């Protein structure tokens, strides 16, 4: 019996290692900031469901424009009323949650007209939201963990330079995380070149509003696109970006039970699987979508 048990234990251990190697635990990233009825940052983080909170959006920047942040319904940056979220950002970070500022979005005025413009925008972001200093910090003295690129308008150029300039600030001792939210057709029109730098820690691919690569009653197109992203885009972690309600997107909503039983068991085998990104906290609050998938992520 002793001999048999000695042989059996390593086999169990090897099976366990194989299971761990073939499936990776992930987190849930959530966008917050575009609906005043979605609750505060502290309330969002207190749920314990999210590993990343992305504040949306800084939607005016570049080409000599004065940058502007729009946190619809939450506060007005021009009256300094958004500084109230400084303590809440710190509260989220104390729970181990990464908090990023998203630049871009579907509505706004932004572009990068040159490499020098990218440098100037990076300086602004560093001094205003990250580890630098500025007399004007709309979110107060909280130091965000990084910047998310949700680029859907304007020029398709120079975002690789913005990424490099932002990553350069890591030399001051605190890591600057970079996120990106490309559309699922690959390469992404706006961020394809930037993503090839390999500088992005989190890539939450939007598998919605894009019929060729989203769920359409079966998972084939989505999984095929996912495999292209995980094999061809160098990054830290890649997330499955989904709408948290049918009303959250024009198309591409995936029922939570399909995500848990059909999609996640397949994509979690990818070595760079990171988890699921949801748009947005407001819709998740209405539907409880994250509650339905959290045990499978």
Tell me the pLDDT tens digit for each residue of 3-44: 334 443 344 444 434 444 456 789 999 999 999 999 999 999
The C-alpha angle 236, 238, 239, rounded to 5 degrees, equals: 140
DSSP E strands in 62-158: the ranges are: 68-69, 98-105, 109-110, 146-151
Compute the chain's Rg from CA coordinates.
Answer: 20
- State whether residue 76 is helix, strand or coil: coil
Compute the distance between CA of residue 140 and CA of residue 129 in angstroms, rounded to an integer.
Answer: 8
Compute the distance between CA of residue 56 and CA of residue 31 in angstroms, rounded to an integer.
Answer: 7
Residue 97, number of CB atoms within 10 A of its CB: 21
DSSP-derived secondary structure for 222-262: HHHHHHHHHHHS--SEEEEEEESSGGGSSS----HHHIIII
* Confidence (pLDDT) at 15: 40
Is the N-terminal amide bond of 280 cis, ω within 30° of 0? yes
Nearest to 53 by CA among 296, 277, 293: 277
Please give the C-alpha separations between residue 178 and each of 160, 237, 248, 279, in angstroms, as whole numbers: 11, 11, 24, 18
Cβ atoms 240, 274 nearer than 8 A: no
Compute the distance between CA of residue 269 and CA of residue 288 in angstroms, rounded to an integer.
Answer: 26
Enumerate the active-site residues.
152
Overall average pLDDT of the 44-70 stretch: 98
Which residues pair with residue 27 across a beta bridge?
Answer: 275
User: Please, which residues have CB within 8 angstroms of residue 191's CB and are 6 or more apart in sequence?
Assistant: 149, 151, 159, 180, 182
- pTM for the model: 0.92
* Confidence (pLDDT) at 25: 87
Task: Between 21 and 204, name the one with better pLDDT.
Answer: 204
pLDDT in tens, 104-113: 999 999 999 9
């Amino acid at each position: 019996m002793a001999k048999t048990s000695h042989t059996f234990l390593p086999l169990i251990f090897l099976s366990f290692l194989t299971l761990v190697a073939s499936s990776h635990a992930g987190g849930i990233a959530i966008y917050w900031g575009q609906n005043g009825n979605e609750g505060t940052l502290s309330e969002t983080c207190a749920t314990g469901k999210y590993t990343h909170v992305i504040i949306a959006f800084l939607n005016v920047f570049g080409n000599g424009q004065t940058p502007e942040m729009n946190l619809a319904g939450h506060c007005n940056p021009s009256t300094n009323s958004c500084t109230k979220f400084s303590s809440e950002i710190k509260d989220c970070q104390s729970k181990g949650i990464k908090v990023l500022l998203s630049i871009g979005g579907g509505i706004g005025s932004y572009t990068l007209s040159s490499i020098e413009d990218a440098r100037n925008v990076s300086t602004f972001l560093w001094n205003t939201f990250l580890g630098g200093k500025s007399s004007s910090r709309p979110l107060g003295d909280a130091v965000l963990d990084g910047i998310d690129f949700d680029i859907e308008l304007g020029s398709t150029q120079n975002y690789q330079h913005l990424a490099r300039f932002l990553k350069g600030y890591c030399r001051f001792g605190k890591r600057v995380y970079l996120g990106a939210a490309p559309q699922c057709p690959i390469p992404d029109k706006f961020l394809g070149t930037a993503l090839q730098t390999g500088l992005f820690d989190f890539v939450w691919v939007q598998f919605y509003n894009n019929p060729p690569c989203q769920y359409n009653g079966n998972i084939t197109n989505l999984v095929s696109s996912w495999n292209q992203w995980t094999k061809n885009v160098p990054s830290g972690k890649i997330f499955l970006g989904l709408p948290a309600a049918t009303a959250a997107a024009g198309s591409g909503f995936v029922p939570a039970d399909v995500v848990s039983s059909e999609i996640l068991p397949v994509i979690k085998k990818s070595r760079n699987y990171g988890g699921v990104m949801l748009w947005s906290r407001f819709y998740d609050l209405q539907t409880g979508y994250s509650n339905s998938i959290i045990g499978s992520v």
